[in-house]
């Protein structure tokens, strides 16, 4: 008879429990700040090929788990795989980031949405490999596996902008312009992305993801009416459709840059936790925490800087949010030039090492 493993801390928090310390993982924890990642990445012909290679992507996912005391792994993939599943060309250029070709007609993409999970089955293979790699030894604390997707609006901004937008990228100016000028097309695109993403989530959950995260990277700066139309309602639809298709694992929503709407988001979107960004005031986090668990929100630039200021902010976050269920994370992704010692410094401060 074997002793069952202890439920992952992350899942405990997402069920509303308060834990002795917050579980910790970092957005983009598998990435360029690790020398082993850079060596592995050099073996792939391009970034998309790397993401779609289950063995390589699984190894990238597991690298930070082998090096650090993180409580969860997040599958190595990219939010722009969904447009590929819908027939739009996606590629990455060094120094330029993602580039997208002409967006197919929305009607054609709607025909492909149901098959999005099947089209991206290699990500499921990655998840299965990682789940096996995370299997705990007898009596060990199990560590959770997170799957993810870009939120409909965020993915839509890239699909609409393509590689033509040269100004206002930080504000997603081209996509917002379309949202005002051609609302029917944009809303129809969001509905297609809801369906495709829900199908993608089904595949990820079936492949072993224990948590699913919705990355809304471009919720920032939207006026109230656009936030409701482009973020809030599509998230509600995505969660409802994902549940309708039989997925039961917890969901984390991350409407980055929208702290002013955080309490409303927490109350009206049926996710199990809300991730908060770097600029979210501590008091807002405390109010959201009364509605449901939170995640966040260390500044990635402070992680890069290190020193006493880093310790002080970690302590401040712990003091502010330790009375309720929360997950320690960054307010955005880890930067490529973060020293490994600074990651270890944070984990030690939290008590995760």
* Helix/strand/coil percentages in the chain, nearest 5: 50, 15, 35
Q: Is 41 known to be catalytic?
A: yes
Active-site hit among 71, 78, 161, 277: 78
Please state, in angstroms and rounded to a whole number, the distance separating the CA atoms of residues 265 and 86: 28
d(C-alpha 47, C-alpha 44), whole Å:
7
Alpha-carbon distance of 325 to 181, in angstroms, equals 42
Reduce the DSSP state of residue 275 to 3 states and report it.
Answer: strand
Candidates 41, 264, 304, 349; catalytic one: 41
| Per-residue CA distances from 106 to 88, 160, 284, 296, 326 (Å) | 11, 11, 38, 35, 39
Give buried/exposed letters for 39-59 (b at 16+ CB in 10 A, else e).
ebeeebeebbebbbbbebbbb
Q: Is 37 an annotated catalytic residue?
A: no
Exactly one of 33, 37, 158, 178 is catalytic; name it: 158
For the chain, the straight-line distance linking the first and the last C-alpha, in angstroms and rounded, comes to 30
The span from the CA of 148 to the CA of 197, in Å, is: 9
Three-state SS at 330: strand
277 is annotated as an active-site residue: no
Phi-psi region of 285 (alpha: psi -120 to 50; beta: other; left: phi over 0): alpha
Establish whether 78 is a catalytic residue.
yes
Those residues with Cβ within 8 angstroms of residue 182's Cβ, 6 or more apart along the chain or in another chain: none
268 neighbors 236 (Cβ within 8 angstroms):
yes
Q: Identify whether 225 is a catalytic site residue.
A: no
SS3 42: coil
Whole-angstrom Cα distance, residue 205 to residue 57? 17
Catalytic residues: 28, 32, 41, 78, 158
């Amino acid at each position: 008879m074997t002793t069952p493993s202890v439920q992952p801390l992350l899942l405990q928090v997402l069920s509303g429990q308060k834990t002795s310390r917050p579980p910790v993982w970092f957005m983009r924890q598998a990435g360029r700040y690790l020398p082993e990642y850079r060596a592995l990445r050099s073996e792939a012909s391009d970034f998309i090929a790397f993401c779609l290679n289950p063995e390589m992507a699984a190894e990238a996912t597991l690298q930070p788990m082998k090096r650090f005391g993180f409580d969860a792994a997040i599958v190595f993939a990219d939010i722009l795989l969904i447009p590929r599943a819908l027939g739009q060309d996606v590629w990455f250029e060094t120094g330029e980031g993602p580039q997208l070709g002409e967006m197919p007609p929305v009607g054609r993409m709607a025909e492909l949405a149901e098959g999005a999970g099947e089209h991206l089955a290699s990500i499921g293979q990655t998840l299965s490999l990682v789940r096996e790699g995370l299997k705990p030894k007898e009596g060990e604390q199990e560590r959770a596996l997170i799957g993810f997707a870009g939120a409909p609006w965020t993915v839509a901004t890239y699909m609409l902008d393509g590689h033509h937008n040269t100004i206002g990228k930080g504000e997603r100016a081209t996509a917002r312009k379309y949202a005002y000028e051609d609302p029917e097309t944009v809303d129809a695109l969001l509905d297609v992305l809801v369906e495709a993403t829900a199908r993608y989530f089904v595949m990820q959950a079936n492949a072993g993801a224990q948590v699913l995260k919705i990355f809304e990277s471009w919720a920032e700066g939207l006026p109230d009416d656009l936030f409701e139309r482009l973020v809030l309602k599509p998230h509600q639809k995505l969660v409802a459709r994902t549940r309708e298709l039989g997925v039961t694992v917890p969901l984390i929503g991350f409407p980055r840059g929208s702290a002013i709407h955080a309490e409303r988001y927490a109350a009206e979107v049926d996710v199990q936790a809300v991730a908060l960004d770097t600029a979210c005031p501590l008091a807002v986090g405390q109010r959201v925490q009364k509605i449901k668990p939170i995640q966040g929100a260390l500044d990635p630039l402070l992680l890069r800087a290190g020193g006493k200021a880093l310790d002080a902010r970690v302590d401040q976050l712990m003091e502010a949010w330790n009375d309720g269920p929360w997950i320690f994370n960054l307010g955005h992704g880890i930067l490529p030039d973060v020293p490994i010692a600074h990651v270890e410094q944070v984990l030690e401060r939290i008590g995760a090492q």
